[in-house]
Structure 1
């Protein structure tokens, strides 16, 4: 068991609360991504014990990092919602080039393989689908209360889908929760220690990692460009979802523009370093 990995886990956990930044991208930057993916796959194999021993320090670090950052993110969302969302939008825009070119890179090929017409069609399809879902269902940007069975079911599957971020670089679990309308409920549950909500979302994440992780790996191995084309469309659509309004004061305008630029540069530079 390598306890030095706890610090790398903390770095991953600290971005888990920020929509637009992927924890798996951070894992790549600190050099543990492939080991994490391999260990997750080994959880259902004869190498279970070795996988668990590797994942424990990383997992503890993720929890610590998450708890350290959740209060800060919650504070800015509560007090400066519009500028904070512009920061999130900048983070998403900055990650788009990395996702775009990731779909053009195939293992074993030195040159990029251009997208075809069907891939552009997928991008447009997923973009329209996400925007339409946002318009029709209008994901809640408030905290869910008086939960019933269907609410818990929704939170469970939200956690399941958010687990994709742990296995696919460039995708943010927090962003997925925000698109679905579960982000505020999930983050509030952490700060308010709502065990029922934490357990529900947590079970979704764990089961999602074990099951969805294998599906994502299959799609990347056999339909890499199509998978990334869909992700590009979803990320582009998420910009619409994250936009909650125009700044009302000069101060908010300045703060929003600055945070948009900062978010873009941070996300873009991280993704560029990952390609090095």
Structure 2
């Protein structure tokens, strides 16, 4: 077994930390980070390899063979990075969203916008069906953005089901697991469980997430291998449609104030000028544009380095 301390796995862990930081934000998907950093397909294939076949290998040929089949070093490094990021950065990111909401949302807006570029570039061919998938993905994301928060009680069952639903959204570029948790009204409870290390709640949520991840990753991996063009177009549509969710300048909408206005993207979008007139607060347009363009440059740089690394390996 190759050592987890090899340089490749430090890089994978760093990608995991970036995914974890993104997943804390309601509106940004860790799947987006996985895609632009070049590990999306490997992630899906590794997760989909976990199942009855790997359990049989474990029983018949031992843990080392089973570990290699499921790409265990990769998954350990990636999810280790995600967990480190969630537990270390959740409070910081929440604080930044409270203190500098417009600038933070502008950064993620630029990040998501630029992330559509590498996905669209990888669509091998365009046809009416592929274009329809692209439009359908955008419409799905816009429809999700129009939903308004519900409120459900945080019980072991609801936490399990919430984890399964959120993790499916997490590995879809463009739809945030945290945003889905926000829609069903359980996001503040999950965030509090992380901050306060409420082990029972976290265990129920993690069990649901693990179950959903195993099932949904198989479906996505199958689609990526058999219907690549349509799947990529659909994912790109979801990504661009989700921009409505993370538009930086928002006005409070009825029914969301109890969750925290600065943290919740479920508010009506408006222009910077209208935002200033209605709220009396600064639009921070200059800082927002700098943050957005910095995020776009970061995405394109990561894509360039990833492509260059791939060419050097060939």
TM-score interval for Structure 1 and Structure 2 normalised by the shorter chain: 0.7 to 0.9
Residues 139 and 179 in structure 1, CA contact (< 8 A), matched pair in contact too: no
Picking from 143, 150, 159, the partner of 1:132 is 143
Cα distance in 2 for residues equivalent to 1:192 and 1:146: 18
Normalising by structure 1, report the TM-score.
0.76
List alignment gaps of at least 5 residues for structure 2.
23-27, 58-64, 251-271, 309-314
Residues 155 and 201 in structure 1, CA contact (< 8 A), matched pair in contact too: yes
Cα distance in 2 for residues equivalent to 1:103 and 1:259: 28
Q: Which residue of 2 aligns with 1:224?
A: 228
What whole-Å deviation, never above 9, does each CA across 1:58-94 have from its counterpart, x for those lacking one? 4334322333332321111122222211111110001
Cα distance in 1 for residues equivalent to 2:156 and 2:46: 33
What whole-Å deviation, never above 9, does each CA across 1:128-180 have from its counterpart, x for those lacking one? 23212322x2257xxx7853578536522333313525xxxxx267x343256
Shift of 1:230: 0.9
Q: Decide whether aligned partners of structure 1 residues 255 and 191 sit closer, same or farther in structure 2, where only a CA change above 3 A counts.
A: farther
Matches within 5 A, 1:50-65: 50=68, 51=70, 54=73, 55-65=75-85
Q: Which residue of 1 aligns with 2:127?
A: 116
Residues 170 and 177 in structure 2, CA contact (< 8 A), matched pair in contact too: no
Runs of 4+ that moved beyond 6 A: none
What whole-Å deviation, never above 9, does each CA across 1:7-45 have from its counterpart, x for those lacking one? 33541232122225644347647xx974x5555344332
Bigger relative CO (Cα 8 Å, ≥ 6 apart): 1
Residues 114 and 296 in structure 2, CA contact (< 8 A), matched pair in contact too: yes
Q: Which residue of 2 aligns with 1:48?
A: 66
Answering whether residue 165 of structure 2 is matched by residue 158 of structure 1, we say yes
Q: Decide whether aligned partners of structure 1 residues 267 and 187 sit closer, same or farther in structure 2, where only a CA change above 3 A counts.
A: farther
SS in 2 for 1:138: coil
Residues 110 and 291 in structure 2, CA contact (< 8 A), matched pair in contact too: yes
What whole-Å deviation, never above 9, does each CA across 1:99-130 have from its counterpart, x for those lacking one? 111222xxxxxxxx3x1112212222221232
Cα distance in 1 for residues equivalent to 2:96 and 2:89: 11
Shift of 1:202: 2.0
Cα distance in 2 for residues equivalent to 1:66 and 1:199: 15
Cα distance in 1 for residues equivalent to 2:197 and 2:67: 31
Q: Which residue of 2 aligns with 1:109?
A: none
The structure that has the greater radius of gyration is 2
Cα distance in 1 for residues equivalent to 2:306 and 2:119: 12
Aligned Cα root-mean-square deviation (Å) = 3.2
Q: Decide whether aligned partners of structure 1 residues 86 and 251 sit closer, same or farther in structure 2, where only a CA change above 3 A counts.
A: same
Q: Which residue of 2 aligns with 1:80?
A: 100
Answering whether residue 17 of structure 2 is matched by residue 14 of structure 1, we say yes
Q: Decide whether aligned partners of structure 1 residues 233 and 58 sit closer, same or farther in structure 2, where only a CA change above 3 A counts.
A: closer
Cα distance in 1 for residues equivalent to 2:113 and 2:36: 17
Q: Which residue of 2 aligns with 1:91?
A: 111
Picking from 77, 91, 113, the partner of 1:71 is 91
Q: Decide whether aligned partners of structure 1 residues 117 and 260 sit closer, same or farther in structure 2, where only a CA change above 3 A counts.
A: same
Residues 163 and 206 in structure 1, CA contact (< 8 A), matched pair in contact too: no
